[in-house]
């Protein structure tokens, strides 16, 4: 069965790029540490600790290691792999430069994550050439300025552009057809799992109906698809099967919350250690808020017990803030409300209700004066600059130091 829109000969003349960095975290580590190059590298928790893989280099992926895999499993698959902890401030700094490159070519940039974005370059074609020429220029700029590689898909819509970027990784460039017949033919042999939104459960439903390829979905009567996935999903997935995707670029798509968690190697009972760990988590959340130029209006504490049960506590922040002292105070208040009835497996802290500025917020003049808050923000920003220049360990607050390194008053 063919949707009516698929009967016409050409698509609208929009040009989208999907740019996806290749093993971003691992590539930065290999770039900055020559001794890691050409070796299996895992960014994530050590294999002898609880935690997961954030990113694996392509040398590590040969052993079946992938993101979100338990680090212990990654260590078993490749005992000689190098494990390094994530350095998020460094990765975010590189990401900022990456998005600056994107914005040289178009203001229509939709960031999907720290290392991935859609670009609508339709309005830039008269300035920089074809979509393929723009993609090659972006790849060249990233290689020369960041010493990193990316993969790019070029297509008439977002779904097809993302599909294209996955085709020739790493360091790939794929130009998809722009005519309907070419798109239909390109998609036909691909697995139904390549359709956006088809996960494990939907794939199993398609398998039971003997619908294995996108071509099978193109040919299926709509009532059959409706019986498999429901009426709304059936129409949506069949449209995708013919390469139809009407979505536009969403500008300023950003995180709706910022959070950090820590899973302990052994279930932890020490309130002192939990307190110090929470302090470090809040410190990082506050830094990320400042780097993003936003203020938070809600704080949230998360505790996971030994038996895997989880509790959360949250509190509004009035006025919205990004000052670390404010966040530390509310985090400790929430933590003191919780009775440690059993050992803690995980502790986390996050903020939400993010806004660009607190300018519209009324300051509580009975709490902190404008002058005091300004000084605190300046202190936080000075610490950020020192760490960005000299590294995260260049300056630390006393309570995060190991006991033997603390000076007694």
Could you list the active site residues? 116
3-state helix, strand, coil in the chain (%, to 5): 45, 20, 35
How distant, in Å, are the alpha carbons of 18, 22, 128, 143, 149 from that of 139? 12, 12, 14, 6, 7
Q: What is the DSSP string of 57-93?
A: -HHHHTTT--TT-BHHHHHHH-TT-EEE---HHHHHH
Helix (H, G, I), strand (E, B) or coil at 126: helix
Query: Cis before residue 319, ω within 30 degrees of 0?
Result: yes
The phi and psi torsions of 161 (rounded to 5 degrees) equal: -65, -40
Report residue 305 as tokens: 């017990």
Are 381 and 289 a contacting pair, CB within 8 Å?
A: no
* CA proximity to 18, closest of 131, 100, 107: 131
**Distance from C-alpha of 134 to C-alpha of 384, rounded to nearest angstrom:** 35
Helix (H, G, I), strand (E, B) or coil at 280: helix
Show Cβ contacts of residue 150 under 8 Å, excluding neighbours closer than 6 positions. 19, 20, 21, 22, 138, 139, 142, 171
């Amino acid at each position: 069965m063919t949707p009516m829109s698929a009967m016409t000969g050409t698509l609208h003349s929009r040009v989208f790029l999907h740019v996806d960095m290749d093993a971003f975290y691992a590539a930065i580590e290999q770039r900055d540490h020559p001794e890691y190059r050409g070796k299996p590298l895992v960014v994530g928790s050590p294999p002898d600790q609880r935690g997961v893989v954030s990113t694996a280099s392509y040398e590590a992926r040969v052993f079946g290691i992938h993101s979100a895999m338990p680090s212990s499993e990654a260590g078993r698959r490749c005992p000689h792999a190098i494990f390094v902890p994530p350095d998020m401030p460094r990765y975010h700094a590189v990401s900022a430069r990456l998005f600056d490159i994107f914005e040289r070519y178009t203001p229509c940039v939709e960031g999907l994550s720290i290392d991935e974005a859609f670009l609508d370059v339709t309005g830039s074609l008269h300035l920089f050439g074809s979509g393929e020429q723009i993609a090659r220029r972006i790849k060249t700029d990233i290689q020369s300025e960041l010493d990193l590689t990316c993969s790019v898909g070029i297509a008439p819509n977002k779904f097809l552009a993302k599909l294209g970027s996955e085709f020739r990784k790493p360091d790939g460039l794929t130009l998809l057809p722009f005519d309907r017949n070419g798109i239909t033919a390109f998609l036909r042999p691909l697995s139904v799992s390549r359709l956006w939104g088809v996960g494990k459960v939907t794939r199993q439903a398609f398998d039971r109906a003997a619908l294995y390829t996108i071509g099978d979905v193109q040919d299926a009567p709509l009532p059959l698809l409706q019986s498999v996935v429901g009426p709304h999903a059936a129409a949506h997935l069949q449209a995708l099967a013919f390469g139809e995707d009407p979505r536009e670029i969403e500008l300023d798509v950003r995180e709706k919350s910022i959070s950090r968690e820590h899973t302990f190697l052994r279930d932890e009972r020490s309130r002192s250690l939990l307190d110090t760990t929470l302090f470090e988590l809040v410190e990082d959340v506050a830094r990320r808020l400042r780097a993003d130029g936003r203020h938070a209006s809600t704080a949230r504490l998360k505790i996971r017990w030994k038996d895997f049960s989880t509790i959360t506590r949250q509190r509004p922040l009035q006025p919205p803030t990004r000052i670390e002292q404010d966040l530390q105070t509310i985090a400790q208040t929430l933590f003191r409300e919780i009775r440690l009835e059993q050992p803690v497996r995980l502790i986390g802290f996050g903020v939400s209700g993010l806004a660009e500025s607190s300018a519209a917020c009324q300051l509580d003049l009975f709490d902190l004066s404008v002058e005091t808050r300004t000084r605190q923000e300046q202190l936080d920003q000075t610490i950020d600059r020192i760490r960005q220049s000299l590294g995260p360990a260049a300056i630390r607050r006393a309570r995060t130091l190991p006991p033997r390194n603390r000076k007694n008053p």
